[in-house]
Amino acid sequence: QMQLAESGGGWVQTGGSLRLSCAASEGTLRFYGMAWFRQAPGKEREFVAAVIGWSGARTYYSNSVKGRFTLSRDSAKNGVDLQMNSLRPEDTAVYYCAADRRSDVAGYYYTETPYSYWGQGTQVTVSS
């Protein structure tokens, strides 16, 4: 059964950087869309970033992370990496990787609904 595994979370001071990785347990199923969501204590899970498609892939970011976070595909591990710079205390959350093989994820990439595969999450803590 396909699984996603996140890594790279941890603790960092304000202004610091972290790099999150998401890898699939097998490489036979290619994902059309892959994304990161996050959930802070007491809040709902929210969209962070997504990459949709293959050649000519498009990358999307939430307004809160645009310009600070960079999402990229890693074909070797059938996953994605999220480079997070200029981190702020409000970035503190559990970060979840999500993925789906279907092309219709493109229309709703910013919602949880179209993603069939989810990781267990990795904690990111940014101290002030």
pLDDT tens-place string over residues 52-106: 998 789 999 999 999 999 999 998 888 999 999 999 999 999 999 999 999 999 9
Residues 15, 66: Cα–Cα separation, whole Å: 15
- The number of beta carbons lying within 10 Å of the beta carbon of residue 92 is 18
Q: Which two tokens stand for residue 40?
A: 């802070």
Q: Which two tokens stand for residue 65?
A: 């992370």
* Count, residues in the chain: 128
In a 13 Å sphere around the CA of 96, the CA atoms on its Cβ side amount to 19
Q: pLDDT tens-digit profile of 1-19? A: 789 999 999 999 999 999 9
Structure tokens that stand for 71 in this block? 């999402």
pLDDT at residue number 75:
85
In terms of Cα–Cα distance, which of 59, 4, 67, 40 is closest to 126? 40
Residue 8 confidence (pLDDT): 97
